[in-house]
Structure 1
């Protein structure tokens, strides 16, 4: 994979009637990379994708694709393909006709169209479905048709807007693997919008976490998990999310700080040997492990993972321990402190 910047957003802002859409979006996306725009509903991730696609024009800033300024260019002039949440298939056309529609509009010769169609259907596992209509396909198959259509477009940049949201959990997992394999095999650059951190963390090389129209952190999945920039990132990334503890609840940290700790770094220990005494508020059996939720004044999201089936009665008191080396320290504004 190359590391040269292929897509560049520089100081992008978009507002509607004075209301913030996105602000100060600056991002370099290397060619051949898989970048996920992640965040809760209304954070600006889809707006950012639409600006990149040319479906919206920014109020400020510049967008470059492969070194070309496309800030005010029409979507059709940006040399990219898109895959939508809604599949966007023509119900009256067959699988083959849907996949080849764009090629036909562009007057690509028939033999070339058929060759591209065969390759795309082979890659997406849809050979034998050419004559079926979208209504005769499952949700996963319809999304594969949308992927095949993006493949035949032959563009180096593919934008995906929550393409798996309409699928059930098992299908989401299968198509997620399909998309990642396609991206690797074809060497294309993918920008992928999702609110699902599992999708972002399992598929992307780079995750861009957004909140309220601003970027909170850009980095590898491991970066966001292990070194969150602020308490929002800490609580958004990870399942379960990072627990936050007011520094007054722990000795040696002073006031006006927040301490973060991951569930896997907490141990339940014998009475009299722990750093904190907590009350069990829930037990959730997850299969390979059990999640024990804990209450303690000045904490949120405090929990511990126990191996196997380890249910504990609600209201039980336990003591927990953890190493200072696994703690994350944030200032009174929620920003990560050095270390």
Structure 2
């Protein structure tokens, strides 16, 4: 017997004055999972989240949460919590007052409020900061207050809209780990919007990659990296992105196809022993490895990774080798070909 998904979007569409927001969004989200909506600006990921939250109503389709049809329900009737890009804290209230504000509005008894507050502050590492105002906190601490507020709400579904984009790189990394740990400990279902593929790939069980209001691929981070549905997914996922070149530059692949290869699957070989001859256009030392960018007619984003410090002079000609089993083949319209 199959269980119903905890969250279900079925053929959801939203348009403004004829302009596309999202179209044909169909998605099943299991309870207790971490799903990332990923994509470039304007792809429809935040619109999808707002539709799920009840902040927008769809023009078509259905939205179900825990088997209940909430398509036209108010946000307050959807039994979910939200964490936004802006911390949305009351500057005149203390950390503790900000965290329990929603509970107070709902007239939750004081004893229960204090118990939930203590647990949320403990989980988020904010114990001892209860009496501080938001202005006395760092950006990371403020985001933790917003997380604590979501925790005390006690909802099984939490929606997060780019919650880390206001933090610097080091803080983002720390709070990212906090969020994933929280989600696992509490067993809540998280739907998380981000344009940062590192966030999506490191945190989510399932990544939903979007472009121009449509879903391009749904799968595990490994699925999107290793078996991209199309050339957009291939180029968007991975750092460096997958290199793409015309099939005509390789024997045996015919015309009108696009071939993809990841940098880690390319080796530099002695002159005359490679499958392609390229020109070095850049060398970038990354610490553990060096990224060497390559030029070749009909190829985009071709590069190779070498361990340690392995800088090469611009203009050098080198031969590269790779095996067919590591190639990704896409048809004339950029869709993955089976096999």
Question: Any idea what SS the aligned residue of 1:165 has?
Answer: coil
Q: Is this contact kept in 2: 1:2–1:31, CA < 8 A?
A: no
Match of 1:254 in 2: 254
Shift of 1:225: 0.2
Runs of at least 5 residues in structure 2 that lack an aligned partner in the other structure: none
**1:65-123 deviation line (CA, Å, top 9, x unaligned):** 00000000000000000000001101111000000000000000000000000000000
Residue 275 (structure 1) aligned with residue 275 (structure 2) = yes
CA contact (8 A) 1:12 1:26 kept: yes
Tell me what 1:168 maps to: 168
With the length of structure 1 as denominator, give the TM-score of the two structures. 0.99
1: CA distance, partners of 2:58 / 2:87: 26
> Tell me, what secondary structure is at the counterpart of 1:314?
coil
User: Using the alignment, how far apart are the partners of 2:53 and 2:87 within structure 1?
Assistant: 17
| Distance in structure 2 (CA, Å) of the matches to 1:3 and 1:227 | 27
Distance apart, 1:171 and its partner CA:
0.2
Partner residue of 2:57? 57
Q: How far is the alpha carbon of 1:5 from its aligned partner?
A: 0.8
Cα-to-partner distance string for 1:53-72 (whole Å, 9 max, x where unaligned): 00000000000000000000
Residue pair 2:38, 2:200 contacting (<8 A) in 1 also: yes
CA 1:89–1:3: 2 relative to 1, 3 Å: farther
Native 8 Å contact 1:290 1:310 kept in 2 = yes
Distance 1:24 1:140, change over 3 A: same
SS in 1 for 2:314: coil
| Partner SS for 1:92 | coil
User: Matches of 2:256 and 2:90 in 1, distance apart?
Assistant: 57
User: 1:170, 1:230 → 2: CA distance?
Assistant: 32
1:164 is displaced (CA, Å) by 0.2
Secondary structure at 2:235 match in 1: helix
Deviation above 6 Å: which 4+ runs of structure 1?
none
Pairwise mapping of residues 1-339 of structure 1 onto structure 2 (< 5 A)?
4-339=4-339
Q: Is the 8 A contact 1:37 1:209 kept in 2?
A: yes
Query: For residues 203-247 of structure 1, what are the alpha-carbon distances to aligned partners after superposition, in whole Å with 9 as ceiling and x for unaligned?
Result: 000000000000000000000000000000000000000000100
Tell which deviates more after alignment, 2-11 or 236-245: 2-11
Residues 270-327 of structure 1, C-alpha deviations (whole Å, 9 max, x = no match): 0010000000000000000000000000000000000000000111100000000000
Residue 63 of structure 1: SS of its match in structure 2?
strand
Q: State the distance in 2 between where 1:295 and 1:29 align.
A: 42
Q: CA deviation at 1:2?
A: 11
* SS at structure 1 position matched to 2:6: strand
> Matched residues in 1 for 2:202 and 2:2: separation?
21
How far apart, CA to CA, are the structure 1 residues paired with 2:282 and 2:82? 43
**What displacement does 1:3 show?**
7.0
CA distance in 2, matches of 1:166, 1:4: 36
Ranges in structure 1 where 5+ consecutive residues have no aligned partner: none
| Cα distance in 2 between the residues matched to 1:59 and 1:23 | 10
Q: Is the 8 A contact 1:95 1:129 kept in 2?
A: yes
> Residue 292 of structure 1 contacts residue 305 of structure 1 at CA under 8 Å; is this kept in 2?
yes
User: Is 2:100–2:117's contact at 8 Å kept on the other side of the alignment?
Assistant: yes
Cα separation, 2, equivalents of 1:273 and 1:266 = 13
SS at the partner of 1:87? coil
TM-score by length of 2: 0.99
Structure 2 CA distance for aligned equivalents of residues 46 and 62 of structure 1 = 17
Structure 1 residues 3, 272: CA separation in 2 closer, same or farther (over 3 Å shift)? farther
What SS does structure 2 have at the residue aligned with 1:151?
A: helix
Indicate conservation of the 8 Å contact 2:4/2:67, yes or no. no
- Using a 3 Å threshold, how does the CA distance of structure 1 residues 288 and 301 change in structure 2: closer, same or farther? same
Instruction: State how far apart, in whole Å, the 2-side matches of 1:85 and 1:167 are.
Output: 10
- State the superposition RMSD in angstroms: 1.2
